[in-house]
Amino acid sequence: MGRLPSNKYPAACAAGHCTVYVQAGAGVRVRQEGRWQVYCLADAPKEGGATAVQPPDAARARSTANRFAGPCMECSVQVEAGAGALVPDEDGKRGVQCPMCQVVAFRHERWDENDQFGTDPWISDAVPPGCAATTSLRILALNRECWKCKESTVCVVGLYPSRPARTDRWARWVDKDERAWIKPLLADARFERIAESIKPRWSSTVSGRYLSNGCQHCDALQGDFPVEEEASDLVREDGVDALDILLVAQVPTPVWQRVVHGERGSGSSLLM
Ligand SMILES: [Zn+2]
Ligand SMILES: [Zn+2]
């Protein structure tokens, strides 16, 4: 492996494009800009820029790897046997954690300057190794009375995996970023009227325009604040099933994980 020392402590690989969580001893450490960085073997920096020695997965510590395939306890993404880690959940039972959720957990724990003040997205566009390329999601909707015309109108409010992990109990609130990719999915599924009702509208509450839910009858803004509150109230009483399943869609796993964790680990709000 050359002259670089191996890492004593587990860490997320410092290469921007890499999502590997490097177990202790399985990668290298390099002093850069006054502090130690850990890289997986595939991304280990070398004089002259040459890289790539062996797949990082081979170095994953076996003791903590999941022996059986299963859904990630945080994001419900399907993880192949050996590709994730076993970690305790809130009840002390051990569950599978996918490589992406490991990286996010680690960055939260480490919380160094790069993580606090950096701008690099925590979730890459690459499917984490050993994870399903797409994840089946329920697109959840709420039927509510339009405040303006009093007709019943459909608002897209939530996302929830079709096959959730036992520990993944709450739907994620859908905001303007998610509406941007949900809108064409709805149009493709012949929900044209609902798709068309999602468009940029002015909101005096936020003093700006955003890609919003709107009434299918009179086009009035159905604002995020009241709609989220209404959806949360329903879910708190009757669980995720209180919302209507508008559509089940296969979504690229990194897109879903960006919903779960946010661009830089802030996470999306839960309907609860
Ligand atoms: Zn995960
Ligand atoms: Zn209306």
Give the residue extent of every domain in the chain.
11-117, 134-271
Among 63, 88, 62, which Cα is nearest to 74's?
88
* Global confidence as pTM: 0.76
Q: Which residues surround ligand 2, an ion (CB under 5 A)?
A: 146, 148-149, 215, 217-218, 220
Distance 65 CA to ligand 2 centre (A): 52
| Ligand whose nearest atom lies closest to the CA of 98 | 1
Distance 214 CA to ligand 2 centre (A): 8
For 67, counting Cβ atoms within 10 Å of its Cβ (0-12 exposed, 13-18 middle, 19+ buried), the class is exposed
160 or 267, higher pLDDT: 160
213-260 pLDDT, tens digit per residue, is 999 999 999 999 999 999 999 999 999 999 999 999 999 999 999 999
| Ligand whose nearest atom lies closest to the CA of 144 | 2
| Ligand whose nearest atom lies closest to the CA of 21 | 1
> What is the share, in percent, of the chain residues with pLDDT greater than 70?
92
Mean pLDDT, to the nearest integer, of 26-52? 70
262 or 6, higher pLDDT: 262
φ, ψ for residue 237, nearest 5 deg: -80, -50
User: Which residues lie across from 83 on neighbouring strands?
Assistant: none
Distance 139 CA to ligand 2 centre (A): 22
Crossing angle of helices 253-261 and 99-110, rounded to 10°: 30
| Ligand whose nearest atom lies closest to the CA of 216 | 2
Distance 186 CA to ligand 2 centre (A): 20
Distance 194 CA to ligand 2 centre (A): 13
| Ligand whose nearest atom lies closest to the CA of 72 | 1
51-75 pLDDT, tens digit per residue, is 333 334 433 444 489 999 999 999 9
For residue 86, is pLDDT > 60? yes
Mean pLDDT, to the nearest integer, of 154-177? 95
3 state DSSP class of 75: coil
Residue 46 is predicted with a pLDDT of: 65
